[in-house]
C-alpha cells in the first residue's frame, strides 16, 4: 500500500524527519542537500521517484531563507525526476506573520511564499498551526492544516493539576485559539489586551479581561519568538493574583534574548513542539518542555497517501 510513498527532508529539522519516518515505518529517502562554497544550494535525489507520492519535511525556520530555498529546489528536483505528487510538509511556515497589509507600502510575504511553492511545483501543503487560517487561501493547491492542540490537551490532562486553572490568550487575536483549548480542558478563559509598539517585538500590556486571581494560568499562543510579550503577560498575570503561570506555544522559535527572558520570567514551564529544532544551549533551559509532533505528521502523511480524511486528527 505504501510502496510508492517516499519521505525526504532538507536540513532544517532532520531529527524530526527521522522520527516521522520511523513512525510511518518508511526509510527516509536518499537525497543530498548542501551548499557549495559560493553559497549556492545543491540538491540531488539519489533514488528513483518516478510515479512516486513524495513528501518533503522542511521547517522554514532559522535560517528561514536558506531553508525555504532548499524546499523550493527539492520540489523542482522531484518534479524533474517525474514524481507523481509532491507534498510539502511544513511544520512551521516562515513569514506566516506577514499575512496582511496592515501598514502602507508593506508586502504580504506569506502570499509570496505560497506563490513560490506553487510555481516550483508543489501539489499539496501540509502545515502545522498556521499563524492565521487565511493563509490557506493564499494557495491554489490543497492545504491540510494540522493542529498541535490535541497533543497539548493530552499532555496537560495527564501531567498538570488543572484544578483552578484558566487558559489565557496573550492578545485578542489569539482568542479563538485559547477558547478552543479552554473548551477541551473544560476551563475558563482570560484575554490579554496589549498594544504592539513599532515593528520590533515590543508591546505594552494594557489589561487582562477575565478572572485569574488565585488561579493557575496557562498562556496559550501559536508562536514564541523573543518571548518579550509572553513574559510581560506572565508578569501581568502574577500582578493580577495568578498563583502560577505556564505557557504553551506550538512553535518555539526562541530568537534573540528569548532564553534570558524566559529564565527571568515567572513562567514555570514553557511547553512547545519540535516543529523548530532547538540548539543544545536552548535545551539546557530547564523551563522548556518539548512535545513531539512526529506521530501526528506520520499519521497525516499515511492518511493523505491512501486518500483518507485527516479531520479525525483534530479530535
pLDDT band at 218 (very low <50, low <70, confident <90, very high): very high
Measure the CA–CA gap between 230 and 78, rounded to whole angstroms.
Answer: 40
The pLDDT of 207-218, averaged and rounded, is 93
Model pLDDT, residue 207:
82
Residues with Cβ within 8 Å of residue 37, at least 6 apart in sequence: none
pLDDT band at 225 (very low <50, low <70, confident <90, very high): very high
Segment among 46-50, 205-209, 215-219, 247-251 with least mean pLDDT: 205-209
The pTM score is 0.92
Question: Could you count the other beta carbons within 10 Å of the beta carbon of residue 40?
Answer: 10
Q: What is the DSSP letter of 27?
A: P
Cell matching residue 150:
490535541
pLDDT band at 74 (very low <50, low <70, confident <90, very high): very high
Cell matching residue 4:
510508492
Omega prior to 63 cis, within 30 of 0: yes
Residues with Cβ within 8 Å of residue 32, at least 6 apart in sequence: 42, 43, 44, 46
Phi, psi of 10 (to 5 degrees): -90, -155
* DSSP output for 170-231: SSGGGHHHHHHHHHHHT-EEEEEEEEE-SSSS-EEEEEEES--TTSEEEEEEEEESS-HHHH
For a pLDDT cut of 70, what percent of the chain falls above it? 95
Model pLDDT, residue 202:
57
Candidate list 194, 215, 232, 244, residue with the active-site label: 194
Model pLDDT, residue 130:
95
Fold classified for 149-291? Rossmann fold (3.40.50)
**Axis crossing angle, helix 64-80 with helix 109-120, rounded to the nearest 10:** 20
- pLDDT of residue 204 exceeding 90, the answer is no
**HSE of 199 in the Cβ direction (CA atoms, 13 Å)?**
5
Average pLDDT value over all residues in the chain: 93
Model pLDDT, residue 312:
77
CATH 3.40.50.980 for domain 5-147+294-314: no
Phi, psi of 110 (to 5 degrees): -60, -35
CB of 234 closer than 8 Å to CB of 266: yes
Measure the CA–CA gap between 163 and 51, rounded to whole angstroms.
Answer: 53
Cell matching residue 276:
523548530
Residue 244 catalytic?
no
Give residue limits of the domains in the chain. 5-147+294-314, 149-291
**106-134 tens-digit pLDDT:** 999 999 999 999 999 999 999 999 999 99
pLDDT band at 3 (very low <50, low <70, confident <90, very high): low
* Chain centre to alpha carbon of residue 25: 23
Measure the CA–CA gap between 314 and 240, rounded to whole angstroms.
Answer: 34
CB of 149 closer than 8 Å to CB of 180: yes
Segment among 21-30, 117-126, 194-203 with least mean pLDDT: 194-203
> Are the folds of 5-147+294-314 and 149-291 the same?
yes
Measure the CA–CA gap between 299 and 280, rounded to whole angstroms.
Answer: 28
Amino acid at each position: 500500500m505504501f510502496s510508492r510513498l517516499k519521505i525526504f527532508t532538507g536540513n532544517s529539522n532532520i531529527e524530526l524527519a527521522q522520527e516521522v519516518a520511523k513512525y510511518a515505518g518508511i526509510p527516509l529517502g536518499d537525497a543530498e542537500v548542501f551548499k557549495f562554497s559560493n553559497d549556492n544550494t545543491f540538491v540531488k535525489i539519489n533514488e528513483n521517484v518516478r510515479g512516486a507520492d513524495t513528501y518533503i519535511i522542511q521547517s522554514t525556520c532559522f535560517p528561514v531563507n536558506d531553508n525555504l530555498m532548499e524546499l523550493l529546489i527539492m520540489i523542482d528536483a522531484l518534479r524533474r525526476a517525474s514524481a507523481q505528487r509532491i507534498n510539502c510538509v511544513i511544520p512551521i511556515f516562515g513569514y506566516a506573520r506577514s499575512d496582511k497589509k496592515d501598514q502602507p507600502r508593506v508586502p504580504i510575504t506569506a502570499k509570496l511564499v505560497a506563490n513560490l511553492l506553487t510555481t516550483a511545483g508543489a501539489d499539496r501543503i501540509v502545515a502545522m498551526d498556521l499563524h492565521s487560517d487565511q493563509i490557506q487561501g493564499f494557495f491554489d493547491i490543497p492545504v491540510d492544516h494540522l493542529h498541535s492542540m490535541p497533543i497539548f490537551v493530552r499532555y496537560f490532562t495527564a501531567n498538570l493539576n488543572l484544578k483552578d486553572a484558566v487558559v489565557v490568550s496573550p492578545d485578542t487575536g489569539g482568542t479563538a485559539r485559547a477558547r478552543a483549548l479552554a473548551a477541551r480542558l473544560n476551563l475558563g478563559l482570560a484575554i490579554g489586551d496589549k498594544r504592539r509598539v513599532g515593528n520590533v517585538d515590543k508591546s505594552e500590556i494594557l489589561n487582562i479581561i477575565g478572572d485569574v486571581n488565585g488561579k493557575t494560568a496557562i498562556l496559550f499562543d501559536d508562536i514564541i519568538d523573543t518571548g518579550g510579550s509572553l513574559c510581560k503577560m506572565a508578569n501581568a498575570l502574577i500582578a493580577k493574583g495568578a498563583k502560577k503561570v505556564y505557557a504553551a506555544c506550538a512553535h518555539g522559535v526562541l530568537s534573540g534574548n528569548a532564553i534570558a527572558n524566559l529564565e527571568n520570567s515567572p513562567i514555570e514551564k514553557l511547553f512547545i513542539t519540535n516543529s523548530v529544532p532547538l540548539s543544545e544551549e536552548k535545551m539546557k533551559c530547564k523551563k522548556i518542555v518539548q512535545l513531539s509532533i512526529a506521530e501526528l505528521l506520520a499519521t497525516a502523511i499515511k492518511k493523505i497517501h491512501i486518500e483518507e480524511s485527516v479531520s479525525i486528527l483534530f479530535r
